[in-house]
Amino acid sequence: MDFELLLPQMGMGMQDGLLSRWLKQEGDSIRQGEMLCEIESAKSTVEIESPVAGILRQIIVPEGEMADVQAVLAIIDTDDALAVQSTVPIVDDVVKEKNTIAPIADQKPSIAVTVQMEPRARRLVDAEKIDPSGIVGTGPNGRITLEDVEALLKASSSSVVGIDTVPVSHSAMRRAIAARVVEAKQTVPHFYLKVSCDVDALLQLRKKLNAQQSDAAVSLNDFIVKAFALALQDVPDAHVSWADQGMCRYDQVDLSVAIATDNGLVTPVVRNVAAKNVMEISTEIRTLSQQARSGKLNAKDLDGGQATISNLGMYGIEEFTAIINPPQALVLAVGAAAPQAVVRDDALTIAPVMTCNLSVDHRAIDGAVAARFLAAFKSIIEQPSRLI
């Protein structure tokens, strides 16, 4: 029986992806759950596993080609599924646990994005020993044509001082991010609220907590993620998102955490944040960060967040505003905690103050509701006993 392997939607808003590498070839035996190919999406390079066992009979989408969500990537013959399951060696339990996100490290080279190129263009690139990363493709889906290579050669031969810069072609992730933020900014009516939080007590709590444990230190951002989740529970009218068919309301708090990588920004999701302690949140974010920067995030890691936290404080940024990631209705932009003059008990003193800007989808949340949410967040940050 033929089984059609489809390109899944790896994250909200994904429309297509680049098939960067096949890990199996036609005629290969496949176990259920075995990794088949790598797809570069808007947020990460992820690996697609086979939902069935059998023989890879036909590859429909070759390496370097774009495919739409739900497009057929390959055909798997499942008639010999039982034979395949019994003959392919079973990986030991320890390796299987590590392999839920990516294959064993020494079996897989580092991921590289294939440059989509016409055969005639490829021959000219090889003949002239040109680095294809510097070519801007003008063909379908950014495909590099013979004319693109010839134009680069012409520009290189006629370049003069000050006019010899050649644009570097965009990766599929960069193009998708660009399209996503333009769509969000044009279609979502943003409004913004700002609050300044005295984090003196929170920093003291963090120092005390880290002194009591020998494991990796809990960061200020870990407390912020926890406080955000508790504030959503306190103001459930802010724990919503807009959909054309009606308002979506949530019980469990699943938060996206923005992480910068060499390939762009990714937003993996921390699940059920309000029910976890700060140490658990810290460990989970640290793991997601490592996977994000090594390109090992699973599609499930990126899907389902209800709001996003973006923290640039570690770079010394005092404050900024962020663009909402639809269908989410909230994104919190967190700046650095810096000494400022504050009033305590009618007296002026110096304390570490953190500025937070909340971007809100006005279709889903009104100003008063957003203000109550931000006030709840500030209260939890400044009186942090609820965070432990």
Residue numbers annotated as active site: 362
- Within 10 angstroms of residue 145's Cβ, the number of other Cβ atoms is 17
Distance CA(283)–CA(54), nearest Å, equals: 38
Give, for 103, the enclosing helix (H) or strand (E): none
CA 25 from chain centre, in angstroms, equals: 29
- CA proximity to 42, closest of 70, 11, 20, 73: 11
Rg (CA), the chain: 25
Handedness of CA 203, 209, 211, 213 (dihedral sign): negative
Token pair of 276, please?
Answer: 């976890």
Handedness of CA 315, 319, 320, 326 (dihedral sign): positive
- CA proximity to 253, closest of 238, 269, 236, 273: 273
- Label residue 294 exposed, middle or buried (CB < 10 Å: 0-12, 13-18, 19+): middle
Distances in whole angstroms, Cα of residue 334 to Cα of each of 4, 148, 318: 45, 43, 8
- Within 10 angstroms of residue 253's Cβ, the number of other Cβ atoms is 24
Q: Count Cα atoms within 13 angstroms, Cβ side, for 362.
A: 9
Q: Which residues pair with 347 in a beta bridge?
A: 344
Length of the chain: 388
Q: Order across the sheet with 190-198: list the strands.
A: 190-198, 347-361, 330-344, 307-311, 255-257, 269-270
